Structures are given as structure tokens and as C-alpha cells.
């Protein structure tokens, strides 16, 4: 699908999503212009198919790919809720502190079940109990998809239960001050009242975290329209009760205040169906073309922008000899001792040359385009 065509269908997706979450019946003249197969492709790319399905069903359009995707989203949310409850009970039994993250919380703030589609369950846990957590997950019938890499371990149980168990929220490889700000994350958490080892953020700190999380993706491979929708849903629910002075102070500490302002203002206008300025249209275009998982082109472009001030030579140097914190994040065993760091650099080089050869070639090709 060409970019102009993708944008047109993305605009239809945004309109229908705004109608669904605001309880508005879509205009028939807009419905008449929809290209349903291409609209479905774009919605899948942004994981907004269920929201769009609710809007279509409000005007009598049912029994199609959208309706099936909505029903699957509802079933998956129910299955993930049930499995998450079991996992949390096991963490309680093992006396391991934990906190569910992101979508597991936000999905309940959407107007209808399944509107906030879930890819997986993210849970922050005691990083010192990583091996114990792996043992209990395997005991519960999960298979381990990766372990000891970066800041999370991934587990899967058929048919749809993907869990990511985080030992920290951000790594030293992420752009900006995210890692240092959340280094002692537990000191920012509030103890749950109805269990022994569960924690949660205050509303303000939850918003700061989801903003920081989106900034991580925005400045890496990019992030899709659903992240804007999450911001809209949160602000619509909590904006009148938030300590805005505290939020502003912490965003300044994180050095993401400008990003938060632009992200929030765009989200509020987009899903209130208000006209956008030219600058806002350009920013929305970035979200639209990124899709939910971003693009390699964005990754190279953002690394060059945020890490090396646009220098091709600087980017090549950065990729070959990244900062030590980045290496420790991508090669976890290097954290054990400073003496292992040189070996980690050599390991990264040969891993890129062998295992990830295609990815390296793609990045070099993108550099040539800049």
C-alpha cells in the first residue's frame, strides 16, 4: 500500500476510533467511502481493529473481518486477565513483589471490553528473583521465549498468553534519562492494600511512566496511533484530579516535557476530531507511518538525530563502539564485571556479523539514504 493510500485509510481508522470511544455514530457519507480490506490492514498495523469494529457495528456493519477481530480481542483480554490472576497468585505465594504495567491497567479505562487490544501482559517484578520467576512460570506451563536479555524475560502459554516479566523499566541503552530516573523504581511505588506483595504507581507517576515509555519508542523505531489513544483515554479520565505541578516537575527532570506537551495536545485534538495545524499534521504522520512496532528507517534516523547529531561517521562509530551502558543492556553478562566489557564488544560484533547479518545490512543501507 502506497504512503498516500495508507494515510487515507489511517485517517478513516482514526475517525472511526474517535467515534467508538466517544459514543458518536459515524456519518453515513464517511462510511460510504471506506475501502474495507485496506482499512482492515491499517487497523491491524496499529492494533485498533476492535475499536474500529465497534464503530462499524454501530451503523450495522457486522459479520466481517473487523467483527471477528473484535471477538478475538475480547476473548484474548479475558484469557490474559485469568492467566494474569494466576501468575500474581504464584508471585504472592513465592513472596516476590510485582506491579502490572501499561495495557493490563489501561484496558479497563476504555469504554467497552476489547477496545484496548492486548498483545501481551507486562509485569514488573523483583529483579533479584529472576531465576525464581522463571521456575514458577515454567511450572505453570509456560515456555520461555527468551531469558536474561535486556530488561525482560518473555514467556508463552497457548493459545494466546504472552507474558513479559520485567526486572527494570528501562535500560542504559535507551535514549535520554529514562534509565537513571527509574533506576530505583520501587521507591516510587505505592503498596496495594488488598494483597501482600503487589504495588502500583500513583495516577501522576503512572502518567509519567506511560509518557516515558512512549518517548522510548518514539525516539527509537517510532510508535503508532494507539499510543496517542492511550494518552487521550488517560487524560479524559484523570485530568481534573492530577497534580499537574508535580507532573511538570518530573517531566523536566526526565527532559521529556516538550515531547509530553506535543504528544498530549495532539492526542486530545485527534480524538476530539478537531482541526490540526500543519506541524501537528506532520507529527501525526510520523505516528501513522510508524505503525505500532515502528520501522528500521525511523531507528536509524532517530539514532543519528538523538545520539550523534546527524553524523554518518558518528553513527557508524556509535554502532561499532556504543557506550558501555548500551553494551551492558544488550549483553547482560557484561554487567557482572568491568573486565567482561571488552569481551562484550567483541561478542556484539560477531553476533551482528553472523546472527543479525541481514539487520546490519539494512541499517547500513538506511544510513546511505540519509
Q: Look-up: residue for cell 485469568?
A: 82
CA distances from 180 to 168, 169, 172, 242, 318 (A): 11, 10, 8, 24, 20
Q: State the number of CA atoms in the 13 A half-sphere of 44 facing the CB.
A: 12
How far is residue 41's CA from residue 199's CA, in Å, rounded to a whole number? 38
Strands 98-100, 121-125: pairing kind: antiparallel
Residues 101 and 189 both lie in one domain:
yes
Residues 189 and 224 both lie in one domain:
no
Residues 319 and 342 both lie in one domain:
yes
| pLDDT (0 to 100) of residue 35 | 95
| pLDDT (0 to 100) of residue 354 | 59
| pLDDT (0 to 100) of residue 228 | 98
| pLDDT (0 to 100) of residue 346 | 78
| pLDDT (0 to 100) of residue 367 | 53
| pLDDT (0 to 100) of residue 98 | 98
Phi, psi of 190 (to 5 degrees): -115, 135
Domain span at 335? 299-369
- Closest by CA to 103, choosing from 234, 244, 261, 248, is 234
Residues 217 and 273 both lie in one domain:
yes
Residues 107 and 212 both lie in one domain:
no
Q: Is residue 67 part of a domain?
A: no
Q: Is residue 70 part of a domain?
A: no
Q: Is residue 130 part of a domain?
A: yes
8 A C-beta contact, residue 59 and residue 31: yes
Q: Is residue 28 part of a domain?
A: yes
Residue-level pLDDT, tens digit, the chain, 370 residues: 778 889 999 999 999 999 999 999 999 999 999 999 999 999 999 999 999 999 999 999 998 999 999 999 999 999 999 999 999 999 999 999 999 999 999 999 999 999 999 989 999 999 999 999 999 999 999 999 999 878 899 999 999 999 999 999 998 888 899 999 999 999 999 999 999 999 999 999 999 999 999 999 999 999 999 999 999 999 999 999 999 999 999 999 999 999 999 999 999 999 999 999 999 999 999 999 999 889 989 988 898 888 877 777 777 777 777 777 777 777 777 777 777 777 877 777 677 655 555 555 555 555 555 5
How far is residue 250's CA from residue 244's CA, in Å, rounded to a whole number? 10
CATH code of 150's domain: 3.30.460.40
- Closest by CA to 41, choosing from 56, 55, 31, 52, is 52
pLDDT in tens, 164-180: 999 999 988 888 999 99
Which of 294, 322, 338 is the endpoint of a domain? Answer: 294
Residues 168 and 224 both lie in one domain:
no
Residues 115 and 138 both lie in one domain:
yes
Residues 265 and 303 both lie in one domain:
no
Q: Is residue 71 part of a domain?
A: no
- As for how many domains the chain has, the answer is 4
Q: Is residue 68 part of a domain?
A: no
Q: Is residue 284 part of a domain?
A: yes
pTM value is: 0.89
Residues 123 and 211 both lie in one domain:
no
How far out from the chain centre does Cα 281 lie?
22
How far is residue 106's CA from residue 115's CA, in Å, rounded to a whole number? 10
Residues 310 and 271 both lie in one domain:
no
* Dihedral Cα 120, 102, 175, 303, nearest 10 deg: 50
Residues 13 and 87 both lie in one domain:
no
Which of 294, 311, 338 is the endpoint of a domain? Answer: 294
Average pLDDT, the chain: 91
Which of 150, 185, 200 is the endpoint of a domain? Answer: 200
Give one word for 238, left, alpha or beta, with left for phi > 0 and alpha for psi -120 to 50.
alpha
Residues 186 and 252 both lie in one domain:
no
Amino acid at each position: 500500500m502506497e504512503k498516500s493510500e495508507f494515510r487515507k485509510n489511517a485517517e478513516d481508522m482514526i475517525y472511526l476510533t474517535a467515534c467508538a470511544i466517544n459514543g458518536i455514530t459515524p456519518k453515513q457519507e464517511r462510511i460510504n467511502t471506506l475501502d474495507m480490506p485496506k482499512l482492515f490492514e491499517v487497523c491491524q498495523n496499529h492494533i485498533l481493529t476492535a475499536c474500529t469494529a465497534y464503530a462499524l457495528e454501530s451503523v450495522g456493519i457486522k459479520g466481517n473481518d473487523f467483527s471477528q477481530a473484535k471477538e478475538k480481542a475480547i476473548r484474548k483480554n479475558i484469557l490474559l486477565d485469568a492467566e494474569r490472576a494466576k501468575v500474581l497468585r504464584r508471585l504472592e505465594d513465592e513472596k516476590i513483589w510485582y506491579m502490572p504495567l501499561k495495557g493490563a491497567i489501561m484496558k479497563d479505562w476504555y469504554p467497552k471490553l476489547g477496545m484496548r487490544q492486548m498483545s501481551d501482559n507486562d509485569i514488573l517484578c523483583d529483579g533479584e528473583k529472576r531465576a525464581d520467576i522463571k521456575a514458577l512460570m515454567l511450572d505453570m506451563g509456560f515456555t520461555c521465549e527468551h531469558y536474561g536479555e535486556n530488561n525482560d524475560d518473555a514467556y508463552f502459554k497457548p493459545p494466546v498468553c504472552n507474558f513479559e516479566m520485567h526486572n527494570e523499566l528501562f535500560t542504559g541503552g535507551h535514549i535520554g534519562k529514562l534509565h537513571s530516573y527509574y533506576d530505583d523504581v520501587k521507591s516510587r511505588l505505592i503498596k496495594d492494600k488488598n494483597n501482600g506483595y503487589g504495588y502500583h504507581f500513583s495516577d501522576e507517576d503512572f502518567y509519567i511512566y506511560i509518557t516515558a515509555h512512549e518517548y522510548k519508542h518514539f525516539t527509537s523505531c517510532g510508535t503508532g496511533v494507539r499510543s496517542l489513544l492511550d494518552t487521550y483515554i488517560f487524560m479524559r479520565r484523570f485530568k481534573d484530579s492530577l497534580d499537574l505541578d508535580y507532573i511538570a516537575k518530573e517531566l523536566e527532570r526526565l527532559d521529556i516535557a516538550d515531547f509530553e506537551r506535543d504528544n498530549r495536545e495532539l492526542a486530545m485534538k485527534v480524538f476530539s476530531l478537531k482541526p490540526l495545524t500543519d506541524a501537528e499534521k506532520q507529527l501525526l504522520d510520523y505516528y501513522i507511518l510508524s505503525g505500532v512496532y515502528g520501522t528500521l528507517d525511523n531507528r536509524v534516523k532517530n539514532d543519528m538525530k538523538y545520539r550523534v547529531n546527524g553524523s554518518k561517521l558518528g553513527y557508524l562509530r556509535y554502532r561499532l563502539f556504543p557506550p558501555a551502558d548500551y553494551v551492558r543492556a544488550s549483553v547482560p553478562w557484561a554487567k557482572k564485571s568491568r573486565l567482561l566489557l571488552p569481551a562484550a564488544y567483541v561478542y556484539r560484533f560477531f553476533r551482528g556479523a553472523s546472527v543479525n547479518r541481514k539487520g546490519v545490512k539494512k541499517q547500513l543501507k538506511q544510513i546511505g539514504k540519509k
